[in-house]
Structure formats: structure tokens, C-alpha cells
Structure 1
Amino acid sequence: MDHDTHPLHHGAGSGLPETLLPALALVVCAGAYLRLARLARLRNPGRGWSPWRTAGFTTGLALLAAALLPPIAPLAHTDFRGHMVQHLLIGMYAPLALVLGAPVTLLLRTLTAPRARLVAAVVHSRPVRWPAHPAVALLLSTGSLAVLYFTPLYDFAMVHPAGHWLLHAHFLMSGCLFAYVIAGPDPGPARPGVRTRLVYLGCAIALHAVISQLMYGGIRVDVHAPIPEVQGGAEIMYYGGDIAELLLAAALVTTWRPERRSHPAAKEYPSYRPART
């Protein structure tokens, strides 16, 4: 930690392009999801599409908008506490809401049967099984925080606009992956049982707490920002992370369903019929 230097002051500001591009991308995502939800209701009026899932996905987009647009985005460039608020929104709160929107299930319900089978095969393929393992998801989401804040990587990313956006992308993708593995309603390849997922969630809670406490104490932290900012960011990380992880645990309990002995793609779209042997 450093009293005098703060790399964020020398980084890119939140100019017009950095405001318009995220806003446009979020509007496109919202429009695509709402269109697919309408198509799902039209194709199967009896089954329809849950308004709660639509609310979850749109809430996730709203949280991303709050993180990527003013006033939080400019603050994240100049204050480590603003960065931490942005990190929690992009990496923990928004991913949970987006995952609860079940976008893969929605896509499967709106595709034709051959295309839906292709998507289901990809979801359950070997290349997807490896990152979808809870240990890998935990390492990419929570474990990467140690690399970010205990090495020069954070300062490097903050002074390079491309690095800043890559950091956002990592937060979002790894957060979505972990939320999907732990509590996602979408089909999951070889997803472990509830007890195992709770163990991994407990490990994430413990690791998150240790990193934030080390950061608050200034132990091995490599963030060039004023000490009060780093300590304030650590407190935000500690308490905000706890709330997000409790919400994830609640989502795990509420979305859990007993496993059925059927083809994993059978329940994702009504037109699917397993091949007879």
C-alpha cells in the first residue's frame, strides 16, 4: 500500500465511448432475452416462461449497468473502494441474478429440436465439463483474487484500459461460472450433489474472508492506493461478499430439485425425444 501514489488517477476515465458501449451491449442482451422469452410463451402457451426468471436476468443486467455506468464507473477509476463495489456487482451479484434467469434453458426451449440437441450436446461435452467442475470454478472466481491483489497485476490492469476491461470480463465470466455450478437452474454436466456444492461454497466464503482480512491488515497486499481506501475496500469485500454468498446459498436451496433418471436434455425443451434403441 502507498500513501501518495494511486495508479487509478492516471488510468482511463469514464468517457463517452466507455459509457455508450456497455449501455448498448446491455440493451441488446435485454432485448434478446425478452424476445426469446416471448417466443417461448408463444410456442408453448401452456408451459410459458417464468416471469421470475425474466426478472432475475433483467435484474442482473441492471446490476451490470450500475457497475459499468456513472456514478460507480468513474469512482472505480479514482478510489479503490469504488473499484471494490464495482467488483462485487460485476463478479458476484450480477452473475447470480443472470444465472437464475436460466438463459441456456430459455435458448433450448426456443430452438428447433435438432439445434437444441446440438446445444445440449455442447453443454454436456468434455470441454465444458472441466471448467464446470466446482473446484475449477472456485479457483477462477475466488482464488484469482489473491493473484489480483497480492501481485502487481491490479495496478497494471488499472493503468491500461484494455486490462481494465479484461478484468471486468474475468469477474463476470468467472462469477457466472461459479454461480452456475453452485446454484444454476440450467443443465449442468456432472454437477455434484447439494452437500458437495455447499462444501465448495463454504470454501469460497472462507477464502474470501481470508483475502479481505489480509488486505485490511496490509499483509502481502500489492495495491498502490491510500491505506484508508484499501481498508475500506477490504471491508466492502468482506461484508458485501458475505451477503452475496448467503444469497448464493439461498439460491442453491431454492433451486435444488431431486435428480430424475432421464436424458439430461429431455426436460429442457418439449420437442425432445430420446432416440430409441
Structure 2
Amino acid sequence: MGAMHHHDGGTSLPGTSLTALLLFSLAGGTYLLAARQARRRNRARGWSSWRTMSFLTGLGLLAVGLLPPLGSAAHTDFRGHMAQHMLIGMYAPLALVLAAPVTLLLRTLPASTARQVTAVLHSRPARGATHPATALALSTGSLGVLYFTPLYNTASSHPMGHWLMHVHFLASGCLFAHVIAGPDPAPARPTVRARLVYLGVAIAAHALIAQAVYGGFFVDIRAPIDQVQQAAEIMYYGGDIAELLLAGALVATWRPERRTKAVMMPPAPGAGAAPAPR
């Protein structure tokens, strides 16, 4: 561990911040228009205002993580990077996924196009990508590769490397939140009990990585020790809160299986009875 890389790229540039704001505005406006169209098409079902609020909240969390002052601090302070990682990779994905954007898309597309999207969601590659083991490896497992190899130092030394980390954090975080507790259709999603097991593994692995970073075990991060340790605390406690929220969302989807037992009814009066065995 040593001095952290400095550069002038990323969201510290006014032009980049403006671009990010335009993208957030475009995404929010598109979602609002789609929700309005869904209400017009089916007034009985409509579209939940809670889902809309969840999507806008997710965009707000992304804005806090990517724009100054946090977006700028993340390039020079490892604590800023870790806070950014929590927002982009854990908190914003949960809010965005709970907004059910795929369901909204299917409700607003023409029927023929919606069927094509549904066929893609049922395809073998989609099933493999949305398997909990895949999502766990891409989200939590990739943290070990990032912080215990030279990958973080290499990526953080270039503006494009920062943006690639952002994209990975967001995409893998959305994938894991979708697999565990997403309301959107997922044909290969396992039972609630199985998802709880995968979430438990993610919680344990996340805590172990945070503790290893704090203790400096196998860590390859060029930053002052105090920054690394404080960032590890952000990762540990911030990750716990995010995973508790994800667990709450998962429990909210719990639908106990109804098991009906066959009841032996006595024969009706006058009905023919089977002859007694001799």
C-alpha cells in the first residue's frame, strides 16, 4: 500500500458531469413516460407509484455516487472510492431493480416485440446469466480479484478504468439484486430458501473481504493505510445495511406454498361400496 493514483479524468470534469446529468434525466424521463403509457393502456392494473419512486431514488443514488463532490473525491481518496462503490454497486441497484423496469418495458412494447423480449429472457444464455452462482461470482467474487490483485491500481490510474469499474459495479449489483429479490420475470429463479442461502454466502464473503482489506491481508491497494482501513469499515458496515435491505426485499416476496392433503370422504348414502375382502 502506498500513495494513491491521481488523475484529472472521470466525473471531476464539468463536461462529464453534464453528460451524466443528461443521461440520468433521459433515463428518468423515459421511465416516467413508460409508466404513463402503462396506466393509459390498462387503467385497471395501472402502474405502482412506489415503483416509480424507487426508480427515481436509484437514479438519485447514482448521481450522488458519480457526481461531485463524491465522484471527484473517489479519484484521490480510497474512502471516497469505497463509498462510491457502495452507492453504485449495492444501494442504487436495489432501488432500480425494485422498480421492475423489465415488466414496465413488456407492458409498453407492442405484443410481437414483447414476445421477442420474453423469448430472450427464457433463452439458455439468459438463464445462465441470471443463475445465483453467476450473479454472486460477478458481484461479490469480483471484489477479491479487484482488491487482492494489481487490477484496482491499474484501473484507477486511467479515467476509462474508473468508468469500467462503475459499469461493472452497477451491472453486477443489478444482476444480483434481480436474482435475489427482483420483481421482474426470471424463469430460472430458484426458491426463496435457495436465494436466502446465496444471500448468506454473499454476506459472509463480503464481510471476509472487508476484514482482509482492513487487516492488509493479500491487499494490493496503493493508498495510505488509514484510508484503506476506514474504507474497509465503510465496506463492512455499509455492505451489511445494503444486504439487510436486500434480505428484507426478498422476505417481502415470500409466498408460502400451499399444500393440500386429500381428504377421504365417506361414501354417500346409497352409493355402492366395494365388496369386503374374503
Q: TM-score normalized by structure 2? A: 0.90
Do the aligned partners of 1:40 and 1:110 also contact (CA within 8 Å) in 2? yes
1:189 to 187, 190, 214: 187
Uncovered stretches (5+) of structure 2, i.e. residues with no partner: 259-278
Contact 2:7 2:158 in 1 (8 A): no
Partner of 2:9: 12
Q: Pairwise mapping of residues 14-93 of structure 1 onto structure 2 (< 5 A)? A: 14-93=12-91
Report the CA distance between 1:114 and its aligned residue.
1.3
- Contact in 1 for aligned 2:7/2:159 (Cα 8 Å): no
Letter in 2 for 1:150: F
- For residues 56 and 121 of structure 2, what CA distance do their matches in structure 1 show? 23
Shift of 1:34: 0.3
What is the CA–CA distance in structure 1 between the aligned matches of 2:175 and 2:120, rounded to whole Å?
16
- 8 Å CA contact 1:56, 1:97 repeated in 2: yes
Task: Report deviation, 1:113.
Answer: 1.5
| 8 Å Cα contact 1:90-1:172 kept in structure 2 | yes
Alignment equivalent of 1:129, drawn from 124, 127, 130:
127
In structure 2, relative to structure 1, the CA distance for the partners of 1:229 and 1:258 (3 Å cut) is same
How many angstroms does 1:17 deviate by? 2.1
Aligned match for 1:153, one of 151, 154, 157: 151
AA in 2 matched with 1:24: L
Identify which range, 111-120 or 168-177, moves more after superposition. Answer: 111-120
* Distance in 2 between residues matched to 1:77 and 1:71, nearest whole Å: 11
* Consecutive unaligned residues in structure 1, runs of 5 or more: 261-277
> In 1, are the aligned partners of 2:59 and 2:92 still within 8 Å (CA)?
yes
Matched AA of 1:102: A
Partner residue, 2:247: 249
Is residue 11–residue 160 contact of structure 1 (8 Å, CA) maintained in 2?
A: no
Q: Report the alpha carbon displacement of residue 10 of structure 1 after superposing the two structures with TM.
A: 3.6
Contact 1:183 1:256 in 2 (8 A): no
Superposed displacement of residue 22, structure 1 = 1.2
Instruction: Choose 120-129 or 95-104, whichever is displaced more.
Output: 120-129
Q: Which of the residues 110, 113, 135 maps onto 1:112?
A: 110
Distance 1:140 1:259 in 2: 31
Counterpart CA distance in 2 for 1:67 and 1:176 is 15
Q: Which residue of 1 aligns with 2:275?
A: none
Report the more deviating stretch, 249-258 or 191-200: 249-258
Q: In structure 1, how many angstroms separate the alpha carbons of the residues matched to 2:196 and 2:4?
A: 38
CA distance in 1, matches of 2:256, 2:175: 22
SS at match of 1:223: coil
Instruction: Identify the residue that residue 232 of structure 2 maps to in structure 1.
Output: 234
Q: Which runs of 4+ in 1 moved over 6 A?
A: none
TM-score (norm 1): 0.90
Q: 2:116, 2:255 → 1: CA distance?
A: 25
- Alpha-carbon displacement from aligned partner over 1:235-255 (angstroms, at most 9, x marks no partner): 000000000000000001113
Distance 1:258 1:42 in 2: 33
SS of the residue 2:74 aligns to: helix
CA deviation string 1:70-100 (max 9, x = no partner) = 1110110111000000000000000000000
Which residue number in structure 1 is paired with residue 219 of structure 2? 221
Rounded to whole Å, the distance in 1 between the matches of 2:68 and 2:229 is: 23
SS in 2 for 1:130: helix
* Matched position secondary structure for 1:61: helix
Write the deviation string for residues 97-154 of structure 1: whole angstroms up to 9, x where unpaired: 0000000000111112211111111111111011100001000000000000001111
**CA distance in structure 1 between the partners assigned to 2:89 and 2:183 by the alignment:** 19
- C-alpha root-mean-square deviation of aligned residues, in Å? 1.3
Structure 1 residue 257: deviation in Å? 4.1
**1:11 Cα offset (Å):** 5.2
Change in CA separation of 1:259 and 1:12 when aligned onto 2, cut-off 3 Å = farther
Partner AA of 2:220 in structure 1: D
